[in-house]
Chains A and B, each alone.
Chain A
Amino acid sequence: MRVRVGYSNKVLPYILVAPQVIITLVFFIWPASQALYQSVQRQDPFGLRTRFVGLDNFAAILEDPGYLNSLYVTAIFSISVAALALGLALLLAVSADRVIRGATAYKTLLIWPYAVAPAVAGVLWMFLFNPTIGSVAFALKALGYDWNHLLDGNQAMLLVVLAATWKQISYNFIFFLAGLQAIPKSLIEAAAIDGAGRNRRFWTIILPLLSPTAFFLLVVNVVYAFFDTFGIIHSVTSGGPARATEILVYKVYYDAFEALDLGGSAAQSVILMAIVISLTVVQFRYVERRVHY
């Protein structure tokens, strides 16, 4: 028999969940519904007149080659950042897990980038690679490679991917390392006795046991690449050159606050929201099946 635990007071449970509900309402439901409302309106640049235009904003966006370009740029950027940040962090975590001497110093150094604000990280990388004053750009030129991300779209993309990845590796590293250290040593030893070499142990024992961590990080990294990289794009390339690094979230900002197309921008943010929600749903439905908790 199951005993049902409940409150005798009818109001208390509602009071207890109220803070969470209020936070969700104020910081998510309200702005999201505003975006939805704005996305079916058209406003003049001075905000004097607003009229209802139905789905015109959406139709305009989907026909806009600039928007389709931004979708493409976002796909390249997000996949590169998530894949690089996860892969490199896993590599570093596996190496750190083996280190015995100086392990603490090594780990601390690897965690530092996470404490750097995205805009600061962006500026840092921008200075390093600045075609006229950057030390890395200077070194590349000395090697005979002409670096100028202000003119070359591919180089600009490479630079923002590097900066965004660098920033996220720390975060992933901490989780991977914790995940690795939670795997009992005797499992690895049992596999070694069973005849598995180092590589085989990694692919058949360690990686499956890390899969809950990896799945969590995949979701977090995709969201990071879509939204939190705004500061880096803004400080390094401002979406340029020629929109080569204009990811969706940057375009939402640019169209609203620089181009003053509030309705169009709101429609974009609604689409962006839909994309991220559906990506997350896909991850939970299809990727999570292969996760062993």
Chain B
Amino acid sequence: MAEVSLRGVKKQFGATQVIHGVDCEIEDGEFVVIVGPSGCGKSTLLRMIAGLEEVSSGDIAIAGKVVNTVEPKDRNIAMVFQNYALYPHMSVYENMAYGLKIRGLPKTEIRERVDRAAGILQIEALLERRPRQLSGGQRQRVAMGRAIVRDPAVFLFDEPLSNLDAKLRVQMRVEIRKLHQTLRTTSVYVTHDQVEAMTLADRLIVMNAGRVEQIGTPITLYEDPATLFVAGFLGSPAMNFLSGSVSADGRSVALPGGVTAPLAATHGAAAGRPVTVGIRPEHLDLAGDAPPTATIKVDLVELLGADTIVHGRIGDGGLLLARIDGAVPIRTGESLPVVLAPNAVHLFDPGTGARI
């Protein structure tokens, strides 16, 4: 068990800077998920923690010791790869025992440890098989088993569920979370899937184009995104973005189609300025008897059973998604009056993307 510290970590390949300085303290026993679109540098960051890529500048410390020049094998970490990286010429048992054998553990202890890990992951029956005789989910378990037996200070996961089908992915996600609750080993998990990120993480690191956008608990990031990118990346369906401008008194914002939405707080500094307005689809609700904030012209309705997704417009170019609880009979072409809670309106600077 150990904490991991990243201090001003940068990476460049030749002249191309791919990571522009990451600072983060990962606490002992924490499950941290690094999430971002492909090419944002999240895997590179993980590989630098593993020691598979060199750090161009800055420090990476594991358990208080700077490991920049330490070989992967001496960092006391274990990694689970996207393509599993199981040794195809070894049985499941040999795959799991490989690292222990190299460390020179006695045979009986290796047997004991492998059996224990196999028990936790329920793969006892597979120990004599070769990786190619296993299904994707089984291979993933073996890959995790290989990490567990070593009893490392830190687990690193590099998009481990990407190669699995949707159903298995949900199941393995739950198991990884349970496993972490049992073992409480510090874990760093990289994914591009925001649902995986939200459900697994104690804390999330959202990355974009080699920079950290925001670090925090999933709920903090969801409810209180620091940037336009974080707001748009987390949540499904994604947050609605409309261009608007703050009124002169700073207490409401004008949206397309002549709609005026009240704000929860007074934004005096932003008064009169153009802004990007972010509204989560679930924060739009049917007006009912209350006076409506806006009227949506409905283009398309998706009935999902548990909720209804309305694709609509306010004014010209003001495309909007609303997520309404339950199966509501709404017809295409209808004008739908909706209300919007003032505290659910997020304002962003259209230039920098920063939250106002």
Q: Which residues of A contact B (CB under 8 A)?
A: 184, 186-187, 189-197, 200, 204-205, 208-209, 211, 292
Contact = CB atoms under 8 A, between A and B. Distances in A.
A196 B51 CA distance: 14
Given A184-B85, A196-B73, A189 B98 contact: no
Interface in B66-105: 71-73, 77-79, 81-83, 85, 87-89, 98-99, 102-103
A69 B210 CA distance: 71
Given A192-B73, A205-B87, 18 more contacts: A184-B83, A184-B85, A186-B82, A187-B85, A189-B79, A190-B79, A190-B85, A190-B87, A191-B87, A192-B52, A192-B71, A192-B72, A193-B99, A194-B98, A196-B102, A208-B89, A209-B88, A211-B89
Interface residues of B, number: 22
Contacts of A205: 87
Contact of A193 (B72, B83, B88, B89): B72
Contacts of B71: 192
Given A184-B83, A184-B85, A208-B89, A193 B98 contact: no
27 contacts: A186-B81, A186-B82, A187-B87, A189-B50, A189-B52, A189-B81, A190-B79, A190-B81, A191-B87, A192-B73, A193-B50, A193-B51, A193-B52, A193-B72, A193-B73, A193-B77, A193-B79, A194-B98, A194-B99, A194-B150, A195-B73, A196-B73, A196-B98, A200-B102, A204-B98, A205-B87, A209-B88
Nearest to A183: B88
A191 B85 CA distance: 9
Nearest to B80: A190
B326 to A, nearest CB: 46
Interface of B: 50-52, 71-73, 77-79, 81-83, 85, 87-89, 98-99, 102-103, 146, 150
A193 B102 contact: no
Nearest to A208: B89
Contacts of A197: 73
A196 B97 CA distance: 12
Contacts of A204: 98
Contacts of B103: 195
Given A189-B52, A209-B89, A292-B88, A194 B83 contact: no
B102 A194 contact: yes
Most chain A beta-carbon neighbours within 10 Å: one of B82, B83, B85:
B85
B83 A195 contact: no
B238 to A, nearest CB: 32
B18 to A, nearest CB: 18
Contacts of B98: 191, 194, 196, 204
B152 to A, nearest CB: 9
Contacts of B81: 186, 189-190
Contacts of B73: 192-197
Contacts of A196: 73, 98, 102
